[in-house]
Amino acid sequence: MRDIDAKTITQTVSRLFQEANFTLSDDVLSALKQALQDEESPAGRKVITSILENASIASKDRIPLCQDCGTAVVFLELGQDIHIVGGDLHTAVNDGVRQAYEESYFRKSIVQRPFSARTNTGDNTPAIIHTEIVPGEKLKMIVMPKGGGAENMSRLAMLTPAQGRQEIIEFVVNSVDVAGSNPCPPLIIGVGIGGTAEKTMLLAKQALLRRVGEPNPDAETSALEKDLLKKVNNLGIGPMGYGGRITALAVHVKTFPAHIAGLPVAVNMQCHCARHHEAIL
Amino acid sequence: MKIKLPLTEETVRELRAGDEVTLYGVLYVARDAAHKRMADALDQGKPLPFNITGQTIYYMAPSPARPGQVVGAAGPTTSSRMDRYTSRLLSEGLKGMIGKGSRSQDVKKAIIKYGAIYLGVVGGTGALISKNIVSAEVVAYEDLGPEAILRLEVADFTATVINDIYGGDFYEQGQRAYRKAR
């Protein structure tokens, strides 16, 4: 049994959200630099140049990369031999979000009473917290400020087993086509396949956490990702929808066993401002 | 092409989808909640909180300014969420819109009918765009927090013409040029 102080969790969450909103990670930056090389469209290249310039200004001047500092999504992998002291886990996480968004002048984008008053909660809480209990005595925390424009383009399809691989491809490619310039391409496209309706949506979001350029360990899934990326980039949407070859930097697929009756598929889109940072306590 | 805001009819006539422009002058900032309030005001026969005739609206909600800063990050939001309010505002005299993403057929028709222009800026580059904002002040709906209506003065603010009064659509043009068979 290992004790972790709730205050340490709060401080870590706060630090991670600050890093994520000011700094694009090196994998995303490399993918964007590669995209600048590969993009044929002059308008598309201009867009990517602006994106890279923005990243450099944001980290240098401590201005958020994007005014949409996101819904605060937090993934926790909590070792079962950890005992949290001095407070409760979810309060500690929300305190960290509040601290980061207030201290660093991030935009607070969360409203309560979503279908009526839509009053801003004023501190960007509550966070969306996904907690998994795992063996061991470590706590892994991944924070993801998730922008609303790309999140709005998410889709879920409850396909049938007979529809299979081909219709998964059609669904994903069609989702990207319909979204067009809305989710701020070049995108990272998260795809969940299998599980149940809510499980596959979560898989699609978790798929976004993989580093861009890191191969999928499963050969069959990796081949599907390559097919999807090619077809998505054949759409010609291009950076910011101005036309071009690079509509997506990557497609990441995560799978889970499914019921004999079903083949759920989910798409969760990540704009080029792909922000997620992690720490292990 | 350099453009002075507010727009004139002559300037709008000159612009074509795909043109890159740099904007100088005054524009207003409003997004979802402010649009709903403006529509409610019009429904109730009340005036809009600013004189919209000839003005440009930027669909945006900035991050807060640090002490000494004019504004925080200030990039565009998805314009299509404002589509349901747009024709009405155009009929009230709105001349320009700035945002990201395609507009509905109704909005595209209204752009032609009322002689307006829709400009796109690069989403997710809010830090970069903030450098072209000279001043920012709240003019209405302060209680909406980040969604309040702002009056901005901009200089050397780069945008691309998406929809013009001739029916041109830069997203469609650009994508057609690079689209391959599935």
Contacts of B102 in chain A (CB under 8 A): 180-182, 241
pLDDT in tens, B97-134: 999 999 999 999 999 999 999 999 999 999 999 999 99
- Smallest CA–CA distance, residue A174 to chain B, in Å, is 10
Query: B2-178, what's its fold?
Result: fumarase (3.20.130)
**Domain residue ranges of chain B, discontinuous segments joined by +:** 2-178
Q: Which residues from chain A sit within 8 angstroms of residue B40, using beta carbons?
A: none
Write the ipTM: 0.96
| CA B79 – CA B116 distance, rounded (Å) | 15
The verdict on a CB contact (< 8 Å) between B60 and A67 is yes
Interchain contact, B175 vs A272, CB within 8 Å: no
Per-residue pLDDT tens digits for A86-126: 999 999 999 999 999 999 999 999 999 999 999 999 999 99
One digit per residue, the tens of pLDDT, for chain A of length 281 reads 999 999 999 999 999 999 999 999 999 999 999 999 999 999 999 999 999 999 999 999 999 999 999 999 999 999 999 999 999 999 999 999 999 999 999 999 999 999 999 999 999 999 999 999 999 999 999 999 999 999 999 999 999 999 999 999 999 999 999 999 999 999 999 999 999 999 999 999 999 999 999 999 999 999 999 999 999 999 999 999 999 999 999 999 999 999 999 999 999 999 999 999 999 99
Contact pairs from chain A to chain B, CB under 8 Å? 164
| Record: contact A243-B61, CB cut-off 8 A | no
